[in-house]
Structure 1
Amino acid sequence: MIIRVAHSPDSDDAFMFYAINQKKIDTKGYEFVDILSDIETLNREALKGTYEVSAISIHAFPYVADKYALLSSGASMGDNYGPMVVAKQPFDPKELKNKKIAVPGTLTSAFLALKLFEPNIDYVVIPFDKIIEEVKSGNVDAGLIIHEGQLTYQDEGLVCIVDLGKWWHEKTGGLPLPLGGNVIRKDLGIEIMKEISEILRESIKYSLTHREEAVEYALKFARGMDKSKADKFIGMYVNDLTVDYGERGKKAIQLFLKEAYEKGFIPNMPEITFI
């Protein structure tokens, strides 16, 4: 049985799926096929139920909960760090409502976190890997950065206006900011969903226990980061919370979506089941 696994072409996702792609673990007769695309495109494809398994933004989950369940492993959580708003010159975060901000997509969790921080923003959607350039060129006043930009923005001469992961951590008394998760299509049936969930969990655990070889593999997806930076970035987003959300991670998702629903930023509060 072919299972398409859609995820971002990033070092952290490549690290997660290393053991499956390189046949390091038993895949129980399933043939896994990688589909690589940026997260906003994956969110849009999930609305159509395109892939059997997909990385999506937690922000997108309410829109696809009729078709998909959340897998209990594969989460990307910002634990006292996360997406940032950056600019060429420092300014008070209260001024964000008066600035034009480049964002990586309206279904990203970074965008939802920014809306929770400052509901009234003037924004333009720009591909995530072009945002720093747009800020540097002055086409926008600030940019909402995700992925490796969180580690490289200072190299580009930019400053952090607000780290939304830190803000959320302080606001919630220490919860991580839920950014991405893996979902699985419900029409596969519960037995297949559970088997695939276990395979994906084993892949993550394999990479964490064979870190050196998995990081080496992931480097080809590191978009210019050296090994040290790539290793740091992977450590930020592939860790114990990735193996399993745990009570902390589950509580964070519930609160994130509950606040978004109460403020009218998402259409419904989905029932969240973890496979």
Structure 2
Amino acid sequence: MVTIKVGALADSGDLYPFIPLMEGKVKPDGFNLEFEVIPTVQDINELVLKREVDVSVPSAAMYPYIQDYFYIMGNAVASAIDGITGMPVLSTSDIKQDELPKARLIVHGPNTTAFTLYKMLVGRYGKLVIVRRVLDEMKALGKDGDVLVAVHEIKMMYAMKKLGINAKPITSMWDMWKNISNGSPMPMGMVVINKDLGKELALKFKETYEKSKKYAESHLEEIIPKDVRIMREAQGADLEEEIVKKTIWADIQEYNVPIDQVKRGLETFYKLAEEKSILPKVKEIDII
């Protein structure tokens, strides 16, 4: 029987659809699953690029580099459709938007959607500071970097408040994106599956993933404590259930955008990124 290696990202919104599968609440039929929890999105991006996992949750910006080897699962593309998860640019200083090109910029990694959007929408920065973990990013703000693109802003803003960090939003990727994209959904992350498994098995996994996602969304009170436990182990941080719950609720909206809108957002994102020579050309958005 085929074993599918899954690299699950240790972020509440991306993790929750996998938890029923990890906990045996939803069982695969005709294949086995092997899970590894990966702590950061940049780690995920690198593992997918090296094809060391069959299924994972890379940045949308990673797809041009892996398009020949992975399908995009159409029911698992996180897309922002409003400012709630719009990646605000935060600072502890009174930096104005027109000063961003000179600022020291903190991002999760060079292949992340956050950094790609920043290059697309702002263009320049004074110095790039790569800090892979969310809590370390917050501690670096004002010390190693002037501005931060907050991907997980609900957790980010809450944790900053607890740490006594007074961060102010300057702008957001969403506010700038909606103006140049004609209001298209803004791609963020996506679940991809290895083409070497074959399309039939890939579609079978997609169906199983959908069952797991729906189970999680209808059993949140059961799933959230398990999400918190896995996150604590992977991140080495004390996370509160209420914040994880709010994060998941926001991400449920992202993961349930209609497929026609998802496609429109992806097409717009890759077209603009190619025109600005930020990402390689996408030959075909291969969605299953």
1:168-247 pair list within 5 angstroms: 168-220=177-229, 221=231, 223-239=237-253, 241-243=254-256, 245-247=258-260
Give unpaired runs (5+ residues) of structure 1: none
CA distance in 2, matches of 1:203, 1:170: 35
TM-score, normalized by length of structure 1? 0.92
Query: 1:33-91, CA deviations, whole angstroms, 9 ceiling, x for partnerless residues?
Result: 22222111111121121111111100000000011110112222223232222111232
How much does 1:252 deviate? 0.6
After superposition, the CA RMSD in angstroms is 1.9
Q: Which amino acid aligns with 1:13?
A: D
1:256-275 pair list within 5 angstroms: 256-275=269-288
Q: Quick check: 1:90–1:160 contact (8 Å CA) kept in 2?
A: no
CA distance in 2, matches of 1:242, 1:176: 11
Which residue of structure 1 lines up, in the alignment, with residue 62 of structure 2?
Answer: 60
CA distance in 1, matches of 2:283, 2:129: 28
Which residue of structure 1 lines up, in the alignment, with residue 114 of structure 2?
Answer: 110
- Which piece of structure 1 moves more, 122-131 or 184-193? 122-131
Query: 1:186-211, CA deviations, whole angstroms, 9 ceiling, x for partnerless residues?
Result: 11111111101111111111111122
Q: Quick check: 1:68–1:185 contact (8 Å CA) kept in 2?
A: yes
Number of corresponding residues: 273
Q: Quick check: 1:15–1:218 contact (8 Å CA) kept in 2?
A: yes
Q: Quick check: 2:79–2:257 contact (8 Å CA) kept in 1?
A: no
How much does 1:150 deviate? 5.2
- Which piece of structure 1 moves more, 37-46 or 158-167? 158-167
Give unpaired runs (5+ residues) of structure 2: none
How much does 1:22 deviate? 1.3
Q: Which amino acid aligns with 2:177?
A: W
Instruction: Report whether the alignment pairs 1:160 with 2:169.
Output: yes
Query: 1:16-44, CA deviations, whole angstroms, 9 ceiling, x for partnerless residues?
Result: 11111111123103221222221111111
CA distance in 2, matches of 1:98, 1:44: 29
TM-score, normalized by length of structure 2? 0.88
Q: Quick check: 1:131–1:144 contact (8 Å CA) kept in 2?
A: no
Which residue of structure 2 lines up, in the alignment, with residue 71 of structure 1?
Answer: 73
Q: Quick check: 2:75–2:259 contact (8 Å CA) kept in 1?
A: no
CA distance in 2, matches of 1:127, 1:84: 17
